[in-house]
Amino acid sequence: FSEMMEVLLTALLVCKGTEAILRRGQAFNITLNLQTTAQAWDNLSFIASTGPSPTESQQTKVVFNLSEESASGWSAVLEPSEPGCMNLTISSPANAVIGRYKLKLQIVSGNKVSSTLLGQFVLLFNPWCPDDDVFMANAKERQEYVLNDSGIIFQGLEKYIQQEAWNYGQFEEDILDISLAILDRSLNHRQDPALDVSNRNNPVYVSRVISAMVNSNDEKGVVEGKWNGKYRSGTNPLQWSGSVTILRKWYRGRYKPVRYGQCWVFAGVMCTVLRSLGIPTRVITNFNSAHDRNINLSIDKYIDISGKTLHFTEDSVWNFHVWNESWFIRRDLGSFYDGWQVLDATPQETSKGIYQCGPASTKAIKEGDVNLDYDSSFVFAAVNADYVTWIHYSNKRKERIYSDTRKIGKFISTKAVGSNSRVDVTANYKYPEGSLKERQVYKKALKLLGVRSTGKKAKMRRSRRQPSGARRQNTTQPAQKPSISGKVILDASPVIGQDILLTFALRNLLSDFKTIKVKLRASAILYTRKPKAEIFWYLDTERRTWGNYVSISIPVKEIPFKISYSQYKNSLTDDRKILVTAVCETKQGASLLVEQDIVLQDPFLTIKVLGPTVVHKAVDVQVTFTNPLSEVVTDCVLRAEGSGLIKEQLRIKYVNAIWLVSQFSLVGNLE
């Protein structure tokens, strides 16, 4: 009997000490090599267990016999075998708990019960299995949203959308172990490990835990966020180009949060973790993304008569915001809400006391079902709040001068399946702007949130700290019909180092003569639109005062102006963004506010592979860069990474001077 217990697992389960990576609902084969002939096959049983305190009642431990499917859905079937061997096919159910398992063989002979550890394996979600909650029927979409280890994250402005490459690297060494460690470090796991593990059969639960753990605000998670432009104690978020280095740094640094990240970093890391666990996931960018602190679906912006932003509210509109969507069914909500679910790891607001967001069904968001779990009201506001601008006068009087129902939630974007082109998914989040259906959904959301045109809003499902005086201003009445309009015209986004040439086109909407005072200013801003420095004021050259009087009788009056490189070079943030603001006042008291965001292009890098590429052989790569500035730059750093090419982010310092408007090439070795 003791000799029968000497078994060797030779097939998919263990090979030279490595673990098998399996997907639930998927059969796998093992071979048991026996030292003696087994006489009673019905005395063989198997035990699969996961977690620190596995129990059958919590579905973290299952016992199943040979050639018999257990009530749990696990089974072991004997296949044709050679003498002295047992070839077995073991199957797990499509709703099994995911994670690291131990598989034991148990043999009963008379009064003796003996067991031996056959090995360990990791069980993942299975998008290929029709019975799995994460099943994705389209093979090309599975290839993109589960298997693709690199991608594109869109950034910039609604009128100037830029592509940024991101290395997800979900199949790189250690990444799956790190993803499982993230689950084990969560607050839920620390409070009740057994219950936490038992809930890991549900992608709703797992994805929500990951959204909390990718940021470090509550649970000492992976990435620490920072938005003030000061990153000396860590890494500038713009310098990250992939998740692998970040995840390994957190893991090897004994779970110390990695400094620093912003929204695209949180989204890139979460995409890596969820794909590694088998949940189809993609990265989404929302342009003109609202951060509605009090969830009244109104973003109120206050300016003074000079156009300077006044911080009377904590509401804001970011140039863009990046989050994730994951694909799974919603048994908790009903089949209508199956499909893409929004998850956001950027720590903006708390949900049930923790900085986490989602999963929120995109269908719930589109239909205005803002009362449904999880955090659908917050995401609805991000894509569909109204944008209202107020002028605050020195006598404390305020005037609503602008109300825009279409500004928020523009060009919601993701990478296309099988290519790097952009796909617009705005229609998944809302009905066409200006349509009757879109306004009906908006009013439905207001009603569900308990928001009236004036007054306090009702208590929300989403737990959050309420700013004092959280009220919705009366925006149901249209603003006074304007007599003037205007826009700032920029033909193309300039490159850093160039002057910015603009035109302010002022339009007279009535056929009368007007004298208008025009105040133009420009500020260097972060991508959150928070101003960091004033860089330009439009002066009356005759009166030497700020602002200029313009007489207009024709339909359009054009005012050209220039922001020189010398004006912005010392104030521009790493986000390379400038906000131009124009405030216009007529003698009749009518007011106009015009805003234009500008992003300055970085110079392009040209990458050329020198010579043939052969697997497991080093290859030289040439990177070429042209200095666009009219001054010398020094101490440049090149960073590069790529799955299967570079184990860690490659950092190359180039200390030589790069002369003005000149080109240089750097040759590095990839192996």
Q: Report CA torsion sign: 529, 262, 414, 376.
A: negative
Indicate the helix (H) or strand (E) that contains 503. Answer: strand 500-508
More confident residue, 67 or 456: 67
Are 551 and 625 members of one domain?
no
Query: Which CATH number does the domain housing residue 36 bear?
Result: 2.60.40.10
Q: What is the mean pLDDT of residues 85-94?
A: 92
* Residue of 263, 271, 357, 584 marked catalytic: 263
- Residue 583 domain-assigned? yes
Question: How high does pLDDT run on average in the chain?
Answer: 86
Mean pLDDT of 92-114: 90
Catalytically annotated residue among 132, 300, 344, 597: 344
Instruction: Give 340-366 pLDDT, tens digit per residue.
Output: 999 999 999 999 999 999 999 999 999
Residue 30, beta-bridge partner list: 88
Domain C-terminal end among 584, 599, 614: 599
User: Does some domain include residue 625?
Assistant: yes
Residue where a domain stops, chosen among 395, 427, 449:
449
For residues 373-392, average pLDDT: 94
By C-alpha distance, which of 307, 354, 212 is closest to 580? 307
CATH of the domain at 286: 3.90.260.10
Distance of alpha carbon 194 from alpha carbon 182, whole angstroms: 16
Q: Do 261 and 167 fall within a single domain?
A: yes
644 alpha carbon, distance to own chain's centre: 24
Lowest mean pLDDT among 479-483, 564-568, 594-598: 479-483
- The alpha helices in 240-284, defined as continuous H runs, are 244-252, 263-276
Tell whether 503 and 612 lie within a shared domain: no
567 and 524 housed in the same domain = yes
- Tell me which residue of 506, 647, 494, 502 sits closest to 572, measured CA to CA: 494
Tell me, yes or no, whether 106 and 195 share the same domain: no
Residue 9 banded pLDDT, cuts 50, 70, 90: very low
- Which pLDDT tens digit goes with each residue over 492-541? 778 898 899 999 998 888 777 778 888 889 999 999 999 999 999 876 54
CB atoms within 10 A of CB 581: 21
Question: What's the pLDDT at 14?
Answer: 36
**How confident is the model at residue 6, as a pLDDT?**
37
- CA of 50: how far to CAs of 12, 70, 190, in Å? 19, 17, 16
Give me the pLDDT at residue 656, please.
Answer: 64
Q: Is residue 264 domain-shared with residue 326, that is, in the same domain?
A: yes
**Tell me, what's the pLDDT at 454?**
44
- Mark whether 344 is an active-site residue: yes
3-state secondary structure of 467: coil
Q: How confident is the model over 52-63, as pLDDT tens digits?
A: 999 999 999 999
Residue in the structure block whose two tokens are 């805003």: 595
Better pLDDT: 383 or 613: 383
DSSP 639-662: EE--TTT-SS-EEEEE-S-B-TT-
Q: What is the pLDDT of residues 72-88, one digit of tens each?
A: 799 999 888 888 788 89
Report d(CA 184, CA 273) in Å as an integer.
Answer: 13
Q: How many domains does the chain have?
A: 4
Whether residues 373 and 410 share a domain: the answer is yes
443: amino acid identity, one letter? K
- Domain of residue 7 covers 3-124
pLDDT digits (tens, 9 = 90+) for 105-145: 988 777 788 888 999 999 999 999 999 999 999 999 999 99
CA distance 437 to 426: 15
Strand partners, 303: 309, 391
Angle at CA 331, nearest 5°, toward 327 and 336? Answer: 70
pLDDT number for residue 420? 96
pLDDT at 659: 63
Residue 469 lies in a domain: no
> Is 438 flagged in the annotation as binding?
yes
pLDDT at 565 over 80: yes
CA-wise closest residue to 74 among 53, 50, 38:
50
Q: Is residue 436 part of a domain?
A: yes
Give residue-wise pLDDT tens across range 606-663: 888 888 888 878 888 888 888 888 788 887 888 888 777 777 777 777 656 666 555 5
Neighbouring-strand partners of residue 90? 28, 76
Angle between helices 203-213 and 175-184 (to 10 degrees): 90
Answer yes or no: is 629 within a domain: yes
Tell me 7's DSSP state: -
Confidence (pLDDT) at 513? 78
Per-residue confidence at 671, pLDDT binned at 50, 70, 90? low
- Confidence (pLDDT) at 466: 38
C-beta separation of 396 from 417 below 8 A: no
Say whether both 73 and 154 belong to one domain.
no
Look at residues 95, 124, 153 and tell me which one is the last residue of a structural domain.
Answer: 124
In a domain, 410, yes or no: yes
pLDDT in tens, 404-453: 999 999 999 999 999 999 999 999 999 999 999 999 999 999 999 998 65
List the Cα angle 269/270/274 in 5-degree steps: 125
CA distance 329 to 124: 16
Known binder of ligand: residue 433? Answer: yes
Q: Is 567 left (phi over 0), alpha (psi -120 to 50) or beta?
A: alpha
Cα dist from 272 to 112, 121, 150, 168, 275, whole Å: 47, 20, 9, 5, 5
Phi, psi angle pair for 527, to nearest 5°: -70, -15
254, 199 contact by CB (below 8 A):
no
Q: Average pLDDT, stretch 26-47?
A: 75
Q: At residue 394, does pLDDT exceed 90?
A: no
Residue 475 lies in a domain: no
Query: Would residue 263 show up in a list of annotated catalytic residues for this protein?
Result: yes
620 catalytic per annotation: no
Instruction: Say whether both 68 and 194 belong to one domain.
Output: no
Using 50, 70 and 90 to split pLDDT, how confident is the model at 330? very high
Q: Are residues 202 and 77 in the same domain?
A: no
The pairing of strands 150-157 and 160-167 is: antiparallel
Same domain? 158 vs 283: yes
Catalytic residue among 133, 321, 357, 369: 321
Pairing of strands 339-343, 258-261: unpaired
Together in a domain, 15 and 91: yes
What is the spatial distance between Cα 656 and Cα 646, in angstroms, rounded to a whole number? 25
